[in-house]
Amino acid sequence: MKSGDKVTFPFAKKEKEGIVDRVFEKTVYIRADFPNQKGKIVRRKVGEVKA
């Protein structure tokens, strides 16, 4: 997994799609579009994210 990859992540008991912004050893920062917030950054553990 690297910056710019499209991934899915858990959000509110559903799956949401976003683009990887930054990757660290245990944490991934994902840029995702929400209805009221375009380009919001969310943080998830590496194990929760599906490539």
Q: pLDDT at position 47, please? A: 93
Please report, rounded to a whole number, the percentage of residues in the chain having pLDDT higher than 70. Answer: 100
Question: Which residue range(s) make up the domain with 26?
Answer: 6-48
Domain-located, residue 16: yes
Asked if residue 1 is part of any domain, the answer here is: no
Phi-psi region at 47: left, alpha or beta (left = phi > 0; alpha = psi -120 to 50): alpha
Number of independent structural domains in the chain: 1
Please state the pTM of the whole predicted model.
0.88
Q: Is residue 34 part of a domain?
A: yes
What is the pLDDT, as a whole number, of residue 51? 81
pLDDT band at 1, cuts 50/70/90?
A: confident
Do you know the residue count of the chain? 51
Beta sheet of 6-11, edge-to-edge order = 6-11, 14-23, 27-32, 40-45
